[in-house]
């Protein structure tokens, strides 16, 4: 069966404009109260990272039509002026919904300064910031700069750092050892400059977390192992003994496979990272590519204690950023259990972000993916699609339970 026959319907939310205007780095967040999704991105004056300008968002209204989830309405592109620090460009959107409060984390980098320049000098210039909305993204408060208060003891060891990109994670209250506020996890990575010769640095994934609903924040311990770990996302799943653990899925630079690491303390620290041969990395294109993970509880007949399943999206071709695939793992602690990819976009594809959209009336569980993809260049468009768990099981070849 051809990819065109199985791929979900695509909706282009952001397209390359006049001159060199472009949009990159998707982040997707579901608002269950509104049955809507917020699709974030960076607006850039060119394809270069250092030409990012500010963050933008579009609101996508969803509707249940006889058990099938569809797009009902799409709002205009809104520029998020509040999500900025003077003299800096805003990058790497990382949204997370905590009860009725929406956090949008981002990094702010001095205008015109590239990541490469920071790596060359070994001097981090990126700043950690967020904005909040209490009306589900209609209005936003002023930017809060956390750099000195939260990263102060750490940035001296970093050549630079970045977030996600893509969605963060809120662990509900009393999940494992979580407090009554739960825990907020913001995925991040940094280039540690003291591990290799002075002219080089090595990236490691970690989280920035809060146990008091965002009043204070701490930096977790980095993922260690034989292979470097860069851009990442985190998800909560059921561990070997049934207790909740956090999985970190990371991009690797110059390596042929992804790396997964397990946290037994819900994201504060991680076991040694493990290479995942079932998940290929686009090693020849820009030293890999960002990918997304999202965990969920399936509805299993007769099972009173279901365990989390895990979705993953990433270009499915080895070495190149081509053919965006969605993968399913029904036993996420088992690295060999990843399905073959269901290709949801054929051709050049890049960064992506997954979200869960809940149930429809009689239609099962539904999900969304916001991803980079174009006919000639993955950076030509940021597209949105919706699909069901039944679709994933059917087209990955994983038998329903």
d(CA 30, CA 168): 12
**C-alpha–C-alpha distance, residues 123 and 218, integer Å:** 21
Identify whether 135 is a catalytic site residue.
Answer: no
Going by the DSSP 8-state scheme, the letter that residue 148 receives in this structure is: I
Q: In b/e form, how buried is each residue of 116-129, taking b as 16+ CB within 10 angstroms?
A: eebbeebebbbbbb
Catalytic residue flag (residue 231): no
The CA-based dihedral angle spanning residues 40, 43, 48, 49, taken in that order and rounded to the nearest 10 degrees: -50
Question: Out of 49, 115, 353, 380, which one is annotated catalytic?
Answer: 49
Which residue is catalytic, options 42, 64, 372, 380?
372
Q: Which residues contact 322 (CB under 8 A, 6 or more apart)?
A: 282, 315, 316, 347, 348, 349
Tokens (6 digits) for 146: 């956390």
Helix (H, G, I), strand (E, B) or coil at 6: helix
Active-site residue (options: 23, 191, 209, 351): 351
Please tell me the total number of residues recorded for the chain in this structure.
Answer: 401
* Tokens of residue 387, six digits: 């699909």
Residue 351 a catalytic site member: yes
Distance, in Å, from the CA atom of 282 to the CA atom of 268, rounded to the nearest integer, reads 28
Please give the positions annotated as active site. Answer: 49, 351, 372
């Amino acid at each position: 069966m051809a990819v065109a026959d199985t791929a979900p319907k695509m909706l282009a939310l952001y397209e390359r404009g006049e001159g060199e205007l472009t949009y990159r780095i998707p982040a997707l967040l579901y608002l269950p109260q509104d049955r809507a999704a917020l699709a974030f991105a960076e607006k850039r004056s060119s394809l270069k990272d250092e030409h990012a300008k500010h963050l933008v968002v579009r609101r996508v209204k969803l509707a249940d039509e006889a058990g099938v989830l569809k797009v009902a309405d799409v709002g205009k592109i809104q520029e998020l002026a509040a999500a900025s620090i003077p003299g800096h460009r805003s990058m790497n959107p990382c949204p997370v919904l905590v009860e009725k409060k929406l956090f949008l984390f981002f990094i702010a980098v001095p205008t015109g300064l590239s990541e490469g320049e920071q790596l060359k000098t070994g001097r981090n210039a990126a700043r950690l910031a967020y904005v909040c909305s209490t009306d589900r993204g209609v209005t936003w408060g002023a930017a809060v700069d956390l750099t000195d208060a939260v990263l102060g003891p750490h940035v001296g060891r970093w050549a630079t750092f970045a977030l996600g990109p893509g969605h963060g994670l809120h662990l509900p209250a009393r999940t494992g050892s979580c407090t009554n506020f739960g825990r907020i996890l913001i995925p991040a990575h940094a280039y540690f400059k003291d591990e290799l010769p002075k002219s080089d640095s090595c990236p490691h994934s970690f989280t920035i977390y809060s146990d008091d609903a965002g009043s204070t924040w701490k930096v977790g311990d980095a993922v260690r192992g034989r292979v470097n770990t860069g851009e990442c996302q985190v998800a909560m799943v059921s561990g070997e003994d049934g207790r909740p653990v956090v999985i970190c899925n990371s991009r690797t630079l110059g390596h042929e496979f992804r790396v997964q690491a397990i946290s037994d303390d819900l994201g504060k620290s991680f076991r040694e990272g493990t290479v995942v041969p079932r998940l290929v990395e686009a090693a020849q294109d820009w030293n890999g590519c960002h990918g997304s993970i999202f965990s969920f509880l399936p509805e299993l007949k007769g099972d009173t204690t279901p365990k989390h399943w895990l979705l993953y999206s990433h270009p499915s071709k080895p070495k190149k950023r081509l053919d965006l695939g969605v993968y399913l793992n029904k036993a996420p602690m088992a690295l060999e259990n990843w399905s073959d990819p269901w290709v949801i976009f054929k051709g050049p594809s890049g960064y992506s972000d997954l979200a869960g959209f809940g149930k429809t009336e009689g239609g099962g569980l539904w999900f969304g993916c916001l991803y980079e993809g174009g006919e000639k260049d993955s950076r030509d468009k940021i597209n949105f699609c919706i699909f069901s768990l039944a679709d994933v099981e059917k087209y990955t070849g994983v038998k329903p339970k």
